[in-house]
Structures are given as structure tokens and as C-alpha cells.
Structure 1
Amino acid sequence: MLPKMKDFDFSQKTVILRLDINSPLDPKTFKIIDNWRIEKAIPTINDLKEKKSRQIIIAHQGRPGEWDFTDLREHAHEIEKIIKERVNFVDDICGEKAINEIKKMEKGDIILLDNVRKIKEEMEKKTPEEHAKSDLVKKLSPLADAFVNDAFAASHRPHCSLVGFIPVLPSFAGLLMEEELEMIEKMLNFAERPRVFVFGGNKLDKIELIKSLIDRKVADKVIVGGALGNAFSKDESLRKIAEGKIVYPVDTIDGKDIGEETVKIFEEEIGKAKSIFLGGPMGVFEEKEYRKGTERIFKAIVNSGVFSLAGGGHTTAAIRMLRLEDKFSYVSTGGGAMERLLMGKDLPVVDALIKFKR
């Protein structure tokens, strides 16, 4: 069983809270242009705040060497704006400055440490026991009473700050983590049939996932649009993955959106569903002239009135552009993490939380 926040008394305790607030930035100003992941982390922050916990927040932004690999000062401001309380950004992670600031904390205080990926050991793939010997864990864990992991979108990565504290501190899934896992489990195991899975975007590695969902009898029908759909239209051998269970485009607009005939076929299939999963746009939705297919299919899903789960970076961006985020039953923050679960695979963070449950 997954250890949850309700299993522990966090009242006035010092808590290391790992979040995934990795956000899209403006390439010119480096300001956050969509704070959705930050918003999704707020219930856990507020829950701990109400209990007067001292919160030491650890998070990342971008990857080393990429343009959006920045500090987390802007993220601290965003959290402050939402919770209307001071968030102390510390431009250090586990050095003397960070440790001194943590030691000065009073009950109810919140600290956001700098981008944890600035530490070389963070992104190394190791076991929780190996990561527990890292500088990060050895320096910060003695200062805390518990660890909460609410970084669902990063939970498929066996990184230091995600799994390293779990062997050494009482550790729990955050409220978002708990919710995400429940929703995906519902889609996989309990959602009403027929279950229709709608995939799009340009990642051809989803072919393995589609095959797995059909082979394991999770999906009753799979609809494919976007560049992925074009691949199925052109390649007969792909369609043989599951005769009669895959619905693919019959026409496109310049190969960048699904055509009118395809929209009608897709809408008809969506109308037969009792549960729907959405993972990917139907075309190059960022360009207005190629947005119609995505808009029509996404609206058909929310208007169907059935249980609908959506997830993935481009999917979420399109949903938010169309202002449909409140119309889906659930929109997941996860991409890779959600995909692992859909494949029937485990998540390193969840495995560690269960293994070391106290």
C-alpha cells in the first residue's frame, strides 16, 4: 500500500517536499508563461501550511545545457502569488547557505531551494539506497522529520531528490501524486467499456504503447491522429497490429491536420465510448489553420459526457489553449510517468515509497 499524507502527523514538523513545477518559460524574459504545474502543487503546500509545517521545497527546471535551465526564483514568486504567503527562495541547494536558512525556519515557513539539477549527482540513475548516500540526502535529511514526494510528472525517473530521501526519512505520496495514480488506475482497470484511447502528436514511439494496450485488452478501440495517424495511414503493416481496432485518418489538410472526413469518423467512434483517454493533438494546433481537427476532437470528447482522462505535454498545452481543462474528468501533469503506467510498468518513486514504508 502507498504511504499517504493522512498516515502521518505533519503538525509543526519540518518536511522536505519534492515537487515537479517545471514550467514553460518565455525564451526572451525567462518568465513563466504557464503556471499550471505550480497550481497543481498548491493543495499539498496548503495542507502542510495549515498544519504549520516547515516546508523545504525541492524542484527542478529544465535540463543542464538547455536554454530553460534556470534558477527557481520565478517559481517562488508564482507560489507566493497563489498562496499569498512569503516563499523564501534560497540560491543554494545543500551548501552552508541552504542549511543556515533551514535552521532559521519557524513553524509555517516555506523555503524553495534552487534548481536541484544544478547538483551533478541529481540526474544519476541509481537505486534509492545508493542515492541515500549522496551529499544532498546526507546534508538535508538530518534537518527534516519527513519527506513528501508530490512530483508525479517526474516519478518515472530514479533521480537523487526523487528517491534518495525515501530510505532514510518517513516518506509519503503527496496529494497530487495520490490523485494522479488513482485516476490512471481507474482508466486502466475500472473505467466502463468500451474504452477508446485517442493518440496524436508526432511521437512514433507511441506505437509500442498502442500495441500493449490492445494486447493487454485495456483498450477496445484506438484512434490515431497527428503525425502518428499519418504513419498508420501510409503503413499497412502498422494497421495489422490489431485488425479492426485502430481508426486512422482517411484525409488530411496538408498533412498537418486531420481532414473533414476523418473528423466525422473520429467523432462517431468517440460517440460510442463509455471511457476515453486522450494523449496527443490531431495536428499542428499551434498554427491556427491547422487547429480545427484538434479542437473538434477534443470538444467531442468533453461533450460526450463520459469519463475522460488526458495527459502529456502537447496535449495539456492544446487543452489549455482551447480552455477545456475544466471540462475533462481529469488532466494529468504526467507525460513519461503516465506512459509508463499505461504500458503496465512500475514507477521508481512509487516502488520506493511502498518498499520503504514505515
Structure 2
Amino acid sequence: MKLPTLSTLNVRNKRVLIRLDLNTEIIKGKAQFSARMKAHLITLKELKKKKAKTIILAHQSRPGKPDFTSLKQHAKLLKVKFVPDILGKKAVSAITSLKPGQVLLLENIRSIKDEFNQSLKNNDLINILAPLFDIYLNDAFSVSHRSQTSVTGFPQVLKSGIGRVLESELKHLQKIKVKNALFILGGAKPKENIDILKKNKNVITTGIFGQLCTIAKGHNLGAQNKFLKDKVKEFVPKLKPLVKNIQTPIDFAVRVEGNKRKEIPLEDFPSKYEIFDIGKKTQALCIKKIKQAKYIFMKGVAGYCEDLKFCQGTHAIFKAITKSKAFSLVGGGHTTDAIQKLKINKSRFGYISLSGGALDEYIAGKKLPGIEALKKK
């Protein structure tokens, strides 16, 4: 089903409520300008050019987290108006007085309890905000796996469509043939990879995820087992029935005295040193598999890329993918950060996704509530 886009919707002089993902890193109290923000500006500029009255809903972190903050700084980064309110008189006044071509950002949507309320009848976000708007747009694929009012509620009561970021994500995701793809799964978030592992066998594992899969195969990594003890306890029992036919690392790079890199084959473990990267033999296995692939999905780095000597595995995989003729889809925050840090030519990848959890669920074949809500409308 084709979803309405800015090419088919008439937004001129209309009040448009748009859900963006402005969640970003907060460093020393300062919100950082992100790749997502840069992408969302494309949608906002088009709405501005088409003389829409644009009001943004977005979040920063979640209640209880240290980076759960106001969106005042985010508004400055986007160069749009801001009101520190969502449901009160200040917000309503700012919304109703907005002129064509102007853009307004409301306060952090997750500061409102009704964002997490599944009911539409007793929901102030729906009851107060929805009557003020003509159109709702979802431009945040990265939060479309959430069943939250700003994602799934408004499409049920307003004429709805998608922004350019979400449109681009869906277009490129449809290019990857999941059944024929090579999956390169790394990083430090096992939970997000397990659903993919359940449905696919052509998998290479790297990073902390690869280490956990190696432990699940019965290997003792020594110091790394202790370092990962909480993750081992939580995830290894879930991984044991899934890892038999997948490729796990056959050597690792550890950090020894003097902050030096040393590579150790799997058969020489357990080791007293903690693991920071995959070794050259594992890199060679990855490169061989990449050369044979028609479709590649990569998520998560292979090593500790904050230190370039332990980013060699990630670099080798990136280089192989960029030389490949396969369509490649790369995702995950640390992965995209590594591409930038290593100065890899982004145009050599098929598509670099801005999403994390939503991307995993889509690739695993799950239906995303935010997308389903738009289809139903």
C-alpha cells in the first residue's frame, strides 16, 4: 500500500503536526546536531516552501534518564520557533497564531504521560491537540516500532501521511531481499539481533554480539567472560539454540600492556586479556562472504572504534562492502559514527539507515505499529 507523501498531500496554509526523531547525544549539557536532524531539515524546508504551518512533536531520551531534557536547544539547532509547553495555553496560542511557512517545536513529548496512553478517548494529547490540526505526518521511521500516541494515535483521528525521511527509509528497505541477504551483526546490543538470528542462517557475527555467540557455542574467552558476565547470564541461554550454523569469530584482537594490539586465535583462549576487536583471520572470512553476497545488511561495529587500532575489523568490513556489487544496507548509531570517523565514502553504500530498533524489527519481519496505523487510516 502506498502511503500519502508530500508529493500527494496539499499542505498549503494547513496546520501540519509532524513527528520527528530529534533524540541526540547530550555532551556536557549541550544537545548535538545529529544526522537525523540534518535529514529532517529536508522535510521541514519543503513544508516551509509549500507554506504549511508546521508544528513538531519530538522526544529526547525518556523520563528517569540523565539525558531526558527540554527541546529548547534542539529548536536552536534546527533554527525553528520553540514553546516550552505541549497542552497548555502557551502551546495552543503558539499553534493557532503560527503563520504559513513558519515552524514551531513543542516541548519533549515524553514529558506528557498520555504519550504512553493507548486509549484515544481519555487522552489529552488527542483531545486537545488533534482538533487544532489538518494533517499529521510521521517522518520518524526510527520510532515507528513504538505504540505511542505521537506515533500511532494521531493517524487514527487525522488525515495522515509520511515525510521525506520516512519515505526514503521505506523505499530503500524494500530493495533488500531478506531471504537472500548476508547479515553482518555486531555491536553491543544482543537483544536487537536475536530476532534476526531466529529467521536467518547466512550470518556473520562480530563485536560483543559475536563474542556472546562464541561463548554460546561453548568457548571460554577468559577475562571477556567476566567483563560480559551480565550479558552472558541474560543472553547466552537464548543464543545457544541459534548459533550452531552461524559464523562466529575465529580470532580476536586484545589489548595488552602499553595499550598495544595483539591478535589471538580462538583455540588459544581463555585469555587474561579483554577483547577489543576481531582478528585478521575473521576479517578474511567476512571479506570472502561479502564478495559472494548479492544483498548485505550490516548493523553494529566489529570492535572498539573509539580507538582506531581496534577499529581495524570494522574498517576491513566497510572497505569490502564498498567494493562489492551487492546492494548494502547499513544501520545503527555506532556504525554510522564509525563510517564518519573512518572517512568512508558514504555513496559507496546502498543505503545508510538512521534507525536502530525499528530497523531490526522491520528486517526481522515484524509489523511496525507506526506504519500499520498509517495504513489503517
The two structures have a TM-score, normalised by structure 2, of: 0.83
Q: Considering only aligned residues, what root-mean-square deviation do their CA atoms show, in Å?
A: 1.9
| CA pair 259-15 structure 1, distance change in 2 beyond 3 A | same
Unaligned stretches of 5+ in structure 2? 219-238, 255-274
- Give the secondary structure class of the aligned counterpart of 1:267: helix
CA distance in structure 1 between the aligned counterparts of 2:139 and 2:299, rounded to whole angstroms: 22
Is the CA contact 1:132–1:167 (under 8 Å) kept in the aligned structure 2?
no
Residue aligning to 1:45: 44
1:3 corresponding residue in structure 2: 3
Q: Secondary structure at the match of 1:56?
A: strand
Superposed counterparts of 1:320-331, under 5 Å? 320-324=340-344, 325-331=346-352
- Structure 2 counterpart of 1:217: none
Aligned mate of 2:282, from 256, 262, 269? 262
CA pair 348-265 structure 1, distance change in 2 beyond 3 A: same
Residue 109, structure 1, aligned to residue 98, structure 2: no
In the alignment, is residue 58 of structure 1 matched against residue 57 of structure 2?
A: yes
The equivalent of 1:286 in structure 2 is: 306
1:204-241 CA distances to partner (integer Å, 9 max, x unpaired)? 32233212123xxxxxx211111221233333376874
One-letter amino acid of the structure 2 residue matched with residue 196 of structure 1: L
Shift, 1:3, TM fit? 2.4
Q: Does 1:183 align with 2:203?
A: no
Match of 1:350 in 2: 371
Corresponding position of 2:81? 88
Q: After superposition, what is the alpha-carbon deviation per residue over 1:131-151, rounded to whole angstroms, capped at 9, x for unaligned?
A: 364111211112111100111
- How far apart are the structure 2 equivalents of 1:213 and 1:261? 23
| Alpha-carbon distance, 1:305 to partner | 3.6
2:139 — aligned with what?
150
Contact 2:52/2:101 (CA < 8 Å) preserved in 1?
A: yes
Task: Name the CA distance, whole Å, in 1 between partners of 2:84 and 2:306.
Answer: 35
Q: Are 1:208 and 2:201 counterparts?
A: no
**1:166 aligned to 155, 161, 174, which one?**
155
SS at match of 1:180: helix
Please report how far the alpha carbon of residue 10 of structure 1 lies from its aligned counterpart in structure 2 after TM superposition: 1.0
Kindly indicate whether residue 329 of structure 2 is the aligned counterpart of residue 309 of structure 1.
yes
Kept in 2: contact 1:10–1:51 (CA 8 A):
yes
**Offset of residue 335 of structure 1:** 0.9
Distance 1:240 1:103, change over 3 A: closer
Asked if structure 1 preserves the Cα contact closer than 8 Å seen for 2:216 and 2:243, the reply is no
Structure 1, unmatched stretches of 5+, are 81-86, 215-220
Instruction: Report the AA paired with residue 212 of structure 1.
Output: K
Question: In 2, Cα distance between the equivalents of 1:333 and 1:67?
Answer: 23
Residues 131 and 163 of structure 1 are in contact (CA less than 8 Å); yes or no, is this contact kept in structure 2?
no
Q: Counterpart of 2:321 in structure 1: which amino acid?
A: I
Q: Does 1:232 align with 2:233?
A: no
Partner of 2:226 in structure 1?
none
- Measured at CA, do residues 20 and 274 of structure 1 come closer, stay the same or move farther in structure 2, by a change above 3 Å? same
Contact 1:2 1:173 in 2 (8 A): no
Deviations along 1:143-177, one digit per CA (max 9) or x if unpaired, are: 11110011110000011111211121101122211
Question: Aligned residue for 2:359?
Answer: 338
* Cα separation, 1, equivalents of 2:281 and 2:146: 41
For 2:70 and 2:323, locate their aligned partners in 1 and report how far apart those are by CA, in whole Å. 41
Distance 1:139 1:234 in 2: 52
CA distance in 2 between counterparts of 1:46 and 1:306 reads: 33
* Structure 2: distance between partners of 1:105 and 1:235: 57
For residue 176 of structure 2, give the secondary structure of its aligned residue in structure 1: helix
Q: Distance in 2 between matches of 1:241 and 1:63?
A: 32
Alignment partners' CA distance in 2, 1:72 and 1:227: 33
Q: Secondary structure at the match of 2:26?
A: coil
TM norm structure 1: 0.88
Tell me the amino acid that sits aligned with residue 251 of structure 1.
Answer: D
Q: Matched residues in 1 for 2:240 and 2:63: separation? A: 39
What letter corresponds to residue 222 of structure 1 in structure 2? V
What code does the residue aligned with 1:65 have? G
Query: How far has the Cα of 1:113 moved from its partner?
Result: 0.6
Matched, 1:77 2:70: no
Q: Structure 2 CA distance, aligned partners of 1:182 and 1:132?
A: 34
Length, aligned pairs only: 334
Aligned to 2:55, what secondary structure does the other structure show? strand
Secondary structure at the counterpart of residue 256 of structure 1: strand
**8 Å contact 1:21–1:37 — kept in the other structure?**
yes
SS in structure 2 of the partner of residue 286 of structure 1:
coil
Instruction: Give yes or no for contact 1:137–1:165 (8 Å, CA) kept in 2.
Output: yes
CA shift in 2, pair 1:63/1:265, >3 Å:
same
Q: Determine the structure 2 residue equivalent to 1:19.
A: 20
In structure 2, relative to structure 1, the CA distance for the partners of 1:48 and 1:263 (3 Å cut) is: same
> Matches of 1:113 and 1:48 in 2, distance apart?
17
Q: How does 1:126-141 map to 2 (within 5 A)?
A: 126=118, 130-131=119-120, 133-141=122-130
Give distance in 2, aligned partners of 1:12 and 1:146.
Answer: 11
